[in-house]
Structure 1
């Protein structure tokens, strides 16, 4: 019996929602773990070394090998030894306590090693997406001034050094030492001097390897390293995470050792049956993102085995090989799994049967949610029979595709459609919905096993509190809330009465569970005075498998229109299944309007469904289908697959103007 099928599962500790004298709805959960005896983040690993040195902490795939090749197992002790070697190299290279060290690389095992090595050396870690634009890199380097940087490739190192030179703005250049995440020495590909001068390319000869760095630290003693490791206190800054910039320039959020230790230990305590020594996970979220990094720390501190994947396209194939017990995903991944199941049923000509199975999964998921609240509830006999039948025909196969051992999924980074959470619970893979931001060190609230509710992102995690302001904004306070932005000007409007202003809109239920309803900055006010929250319409359209993103438009306009971003991969497969030639726009570069009648007719069904779900004044009167070429995808979509709304609206202004002619 899976966890989702056990209605007698114990409920989470209660969280109190109340209305204090200031009138704001409030919910809080006290800390369950005393963190004051933990010196800093490095102790999370060292405690594991002392108690379980031989336990397998990581699984790694040899470079260039397929997923099916044997994965190497790395013990906690071996991981700590590699961390110490690189930390000594950093100390020998001149890194001082409090210096900043940048990591700009894809998700991989060595990311975890150098992250911890920097902390062991007493440094502050600055993670940066390897897809960051030159302007973003210049801004981050200028603000954080790293003394050392780890990059995934020589090319990445050259880009970073170019940005560092540009960030100097005519003053003495601030060029960090750069090491490539490889134990092999990088092989520079020098350009002719004339070409190098023309392109401003960095000198790759100045980029070293981990092997070189390690060799330089052999004379640093264990005592020197230990003194450096223990130098930082809980209230010192451990990392500066720059926001992804969906609404503007990146801002440096200062996250302390207290934030990380408090979140790791208390979150793990809240999910003790999920995060356990006998469990394992596949981590493919960007480690630059605070959610991926927090999850990794939780796993290290609790002995949960981690395997890394840098290519999200390999995730589904990897599940049957690595067989995780727990997985963190973004909603788009779940949508693709659901869509792939429907497509497979269509191909096998059993679509009507699949639709019946889908309805049954939804009904079963709804029953399980009811039974969480009322353990005496009983499912109708007919529903039990249908569920048993479809489990043999469909659900068991879907669980097998996901590895066959998943106890829970955690969905984060974006809003999850409630019916999708209900569906996955109905097939035997319950989804924990959580909510958090960079500024809350990832998890602020989360559903608990035994009290999951589709559409809710759960109650505050231990040590955290939530308030709802008069305008509906979610306010946050607690152990995870960061120490503020580096630029003091960014803090002016970021806090109110000691609470961080998240910018999200939400409501609290009597049990303290939070439901989100949109972004404060996304609210549309038309020229007629109508106020519209776009999320419901957009999420309905985005349920269509050919749609990647939807953006409602209408601020200071007389009526609503929309931009619909087409999923090029899904659309190409759709044409192939039909035996048709794909629309030419699907292979175009840049941002282009798609005028293919076949695609637009198919997507119109999603537009009609969304319009039918809202009031007449909230319906879209015209729209355009857009395709974003791979060469510009990073400009409009974050690494966690969220739409950079303002960037899209700004670039599409001529298209939007046409919609109002």
Structure 2
């Protein structure tokens, strides 16, 4: 199949903007809980009316401080409730928000704020203020800065007390769907970040169709109100889509600034969401953490058997959904019921206990991991998208989830496979272009299509599989083209592996650099009676090397001999965002990794 179109289930309204949902919710459902605010270590409910009042007060303060219709205001912070307040307050007065990753360097901040022409900036704390301050000399348009940890919301609320509400509403009613809502700068796996111009209509088309298509996720079927804890970075389009969709669908939304397990898991337990949206890394960490606990308690054999049962159970349900099988048999159902008490319930508890649905995006998820979670009672709907199409372009439908694919086009979207295998996208969520960069815009927008740069294929049922990225295809010295993604995913599936990058451009064969999961190493040493040693020593351990070699051999079974990983090196350090080797959505910056580890790569090819 070369192309598939799915009809829209929702259309963007002809008037108004994103902030209208805040006021409409308060008018029609004032007592509905729409937010959770963490105060003093406890979660407190925020109703639609209270949220409206907070947004209105902040909008008045922005006007009082000189923010005007069409102004751009940067936000540099981790994921927290104040970000959502500022987003909707800015949209209320017709201003545009410009996300800045909280880990950005002063030079990156300088580039984004100058390119966007930001007149003001919201920062989280003093360190961010200093980062912006170091760039301020070359930012003549930047006049205002507010610091969240220094009481920015209270400061602006006080400043706007004398501004009439009618003034705010005049600004809000002047916003049209085609008005720019935000400039989101690509995280830049290659080259300088580009500002994606996304309109209010883009987000409406995206979020409203996702909410309608993913009905079991975003809308309650019983007395259990839907809720989600947002821990994705709001600097990233996936997080922003979740924020907007939750407000428009009146989903109880909480904010958590960290994806680190030590901080995230307690809040999942306290907030108890009904669904989560995350990158595959989070689900991998939950799975491997559960497996380590089972091994430490002497129940590894039980856990591994439970995994096999869950996978078979999910495969049987998948076959039934597609009409190719009868579903789980009696024996399998009995085994599944047994392991639900012994294993699966504990996995669900790690996500808060109430989660039954999840959405994964940002990078590919291994099919087996998705099957396991489905068998354990948490169905993960994998999707695919880009900043340039307001997040999701495809997603697995709840009633027919095909694990290992990124699903079908969301309603209102067309997916086309070009002659060279590139994925092209059409639909109301496709962006207007790159800010101040018509040449880059022309390179990706082709007669209404967004050329994604990703290579993929549609199966006979219209499900999309992403097989690689055009710019990341490795061509060996022998002329063999290799897509590294499949190999990297399979190696990374091993519980000891943190990351894997496959190399081999213009080289005689394919090789890999592997980093370790630093949470798993102490457990691995303890279970084998080995003393605690440094990572520099661990990478030379022959038993560890044998473990990683097994992961590489398993990955090589997926490809031909010419495409297989011939040799590898285990690194003592991880690829991190702070070191400039990962994007904030945890994707590899390949060029940066290859430059940083040039000597190690060269050593892989020494005779």
Report how many residues are paired: 599
Residue correspondence of structure 1 range 150-229 to structure 2 within 5 A: 150-165=122-137, 167-168=138-139, 173-182=140-149, 184-185=150-151, 209-229=152-172
| SS of alignment partner, residue 216 of structure 2 | coil
Q: 1:60 aligns with which of 37, 40, 47?
A: 37
* Whole-angstrom CA distance in 1 between matches of 2:5 and 2:374: 27
TM, length-normalised to structure 2:
0.95
Q: Is the 8 Å Cα contact of residues 82 and 153 (structure 2) preserved in structure 1?
A: no
In structure 1, the partner of 2:482 is 532
| SS of alignment partner, residue 341 of structure 1 | helix
Q: Is the 8 Å Cα contact of residues 576 and 582 (structure 2) preserved in structure 1?
A: no
The answer as to 2:1 corresponding to 1:29 is no
* Whole-angstrom CA distance in 1 between matches of 2:442 and 2:117: 24
- 1:380 deviates by 2.5
Q: Is the 8 Å Cα contact of residues 572 and 586 (structure 1) preserved in structure 2?
A: no
* Whole-angstrom CA distance in 2 between matches of 1:301 and 1:427: 30
Q: 1:292 aligns with which of 229, 239, 254?
A: 239
| SS of alignment partner, residue 281 of structure 1 | strand
- 1:378 deviates by 4.0
* Whole-angstrom CA distance in 2 between matches of 1:461 and 1:248: 30
* Whole-angstrom CA distance in 2 between matches of 1:366 and 1:123: 48
The answer as to 2:18 corresponding to 1:51 is no
- 1:612 deviates by 3.4
In structure 1, the partner of 2:304 is 355
In structure 2, the partner of 1:303 is 250
The answer as to 2:510 corresponding to 1:560 is yes
Higher mean Cα deviation, 624-633 or 286-295?
Answer: 624-633
- 1:302 deviates by 1.2
- 1:496 deviates by 2.3
Q: 2:429 aligns with which of 480, 484, 487?
A: 480
The answer as to 2:198 corresponding to 1:255 is yes
* Whole-angstrom CA distance in 2 between matches of 1:376 and 1:321: 40
The change in CA–CA distance for 1:509 and 1:651 in structure 2 (over 3 A counts) is same
TM, length-normalised to structure 1:
0.87
Higher mean Cα deviation, 518-527 or 562-571?
Answer: 562-571
Higher mean Cα deviation, 569-578 or 353-362?
Answer: 569-578
In structure 2, the partner of 1:521 is 471
- 1:446 deviates by 0.6
In structure 2, the partner of 1:41 is 18
- 1:631 deviates by 8.0
* Whole-angstrom CA distance in 2 between matches of 1:579 and 1:156: 44
The change in CA–CA distance for 1:245 and 1:336 in structure 2 (over 3 A counts) is same
The answer as to 2:186 corresponding to 1:243 is yes
Q: Is the 8 Å Cα contact of residues 28 and 512 (structure 1) preserved in structure 2?
A: no
Give unpaired runs (5+ residues) of structure 2. none
In structure 1, the partner of 2:227 is 280
In structure 2, the partner of 1:127 is 99
Q: Is the 8 Å Cα contact of residues 254 and 482 (structure 1) preserved in structure 2?
A: yes
- 1:570 deviates by 2.4
Give unpaired runs (5+ residues) of structure 1. 1-16, 18-24, 186-208, 588-592
- 1:506 deviates by 0.8
* Whole-angstrom CA distance in 1 between matches of 2:146 and 2:533: 43
- 1:55 deviates by 0.9
The answer as to 2:54 corresponding to 1:88 is no
Q: Is the 8 Å Cα contact of residues 447 and 453 (structure 1) preserved in structure 2?
A: yes
| SS of alignment partner, residue 274 of structure 1 | helix
- 1:502 deviates by 0.8
The change in CA–CA distance for 1:569 and 1:163 in structure 2 (over 3 A counts) is farther
In structure 1, the partner of 2:597 is 652
Deviations 1:244-272 (A, max 9, x none): 11122111000011101111212111122
Q: 2:553 aligns with which of 596, 608, 625?
A: 608
Q: Is the 8 Å Cα contact of residues 499 and 574 (structure 2) preserved in structure 1?
A: no
